[in-house]
Amino acid sequence: MIRTFARATLAATTLFALAAPAFAHATLEVQEAAIGSGFKAVLRVPHGCGTEATHTVRIQIPEGFFSVKPMPKAGWDLETVTGPYQNTYLNHGTEVAEGVKEIVWSNGNLPNEWYDEFVFRGTFADTLEPGKFYFPAIQECANGEEAWIDTDETGDMPAPSLTLVPAASGAGH
């Protein structure tokens, strides 16, 4: 009986230790999307900078994710930085050559003890390849920042990401 309890405790401790880093990072709620599809991204911000509250959240929009629209949040200012894309994309038959390159929610207050979600939507280009797709994000606080911008799997500050998969045949709109 004691041996069984010890094994269960060890298993639970190991599981928590492995899972804890995933909760400590800024992540996307949905971890997979189809190439060429529309996507609603929900960025989860799990804590502040150390013990400080977050007052600004910035999300960089990578090439290949276009027609981006952020969702306003009560208590936060919202702005977008726009510019030309490297490629043009078709949005309902119309060529799109520029759009949102960064989303900024600012003048908010996310205490370290709470978490929050920041929502935006857009479309993945049908020219993208299957694999990881990153949305670098930066939290700004009174005396520092948490820059979730690493786009390799070994980085200490991994950018929120998802896996792009081929579209199902016959999909689209």
In the chain, what are the domains? 27-163 (2.60.40.2230)
User: What residues in the chain have per-residue pLDDT under 70?
Assistant: 1-24, 169-173
**Which pLDDT does position 3 carry in this prediction?**
53
What is the predicted pLDDT for the residue at 118?
98
pLDDT in the model for residue 17: 37
**Structure confidence at residue 15 (pLDDT):** 39
Q: How far is the C-alpha of 59 from the C-alpha of 149, rounded, in Å?
A: 10
Q: Is 2 helix (H, G, I), strand (E, B) or coil?
A: helix
pLDDT of residue 67: 96
Both structure tokens of 20: 């804890």
Tens digits of per-residue pLDDT, 25-70?
Answer: 899 999 999 999 999 999 999 988 989 999 999 999 999 999 999 9
Rounded CA separation 144/12 (Å): 34
Residues contacting 43, CB < 8 A, separation 6+: 26, 27, 28, 29, 57, 59, 117, 118, 119, 120, 135, 137, 160
